[in-house]
Structure 1
Amino acid sequence: MGVTKTEAFTNTDLVLAKYAKALAHPARVAILRILLERQSCICGDIVEELPLSQSTVSQHLKELKEAGLIKGDIDGKKVCYCIDAQSWKEAQQMLQVFFSGYVSCNSSCC
């Protein structure tokens, strides 16, 4: 696979792509739904909700954290995860602007 030429894209496009990549797996979407419903969650609780191993859930949590959509606090041996409100709002706004840019054409162009 080739090297991505990130300097050829705007910062807005790079950030939007980061959020989209984080959302591009059904397990991550499910984790986000759990966190949205509970307002916060301990990793072990997330594992109980999904048909995935602890290590797989941890990897998905890592991806979501690296994208900035969630944050986690260490509490003894457990990590409590929750939605990162600032990044969540930014992602929501960026996706809304991106999708609202579509204007339906009245011709049969495709």
Structure 2
Amino acid sequence: MALEVGAAEALGRLLTGIREGEDPSTIRTAFDELDELLRRGGIPGGLSPYQGRSSGGYPRLPISGNAVEEVFACPAGTCPRAEAVLDIGARPPRCGVYGERMHRVRLDR
């Protein structure tokens, strides 16, 4: 998608900054630049997800009825992304930033 709207270089700068542990303000600037380029390229919302947010600002987990006890989380522990483990045998998704499988993490009750 970034390539299609001319934002591939901005995406590269953002990913490099995250992977190399750049200062958060540098990463935020790269994030904002990519977001702006995506919006100007016709991507509604840019990098902003359309899903509901918790009071802490993080995406809500897709919970339906039963409590989630495990999630797949960022392999580097640098972002708040989490996906519910809805199947015991589920394979962890691959992180788009680091290219590694996400880690299975047990939540405290």
- TM-score (normalised: structure 2): 0.27
Structure with the higher helix share, 1 or 2: 1
- TM-score (normalised: structure 1): 0.26
**Which protein has the larger Cα radius of gyration, Structure 1 or Structure 2?**
1
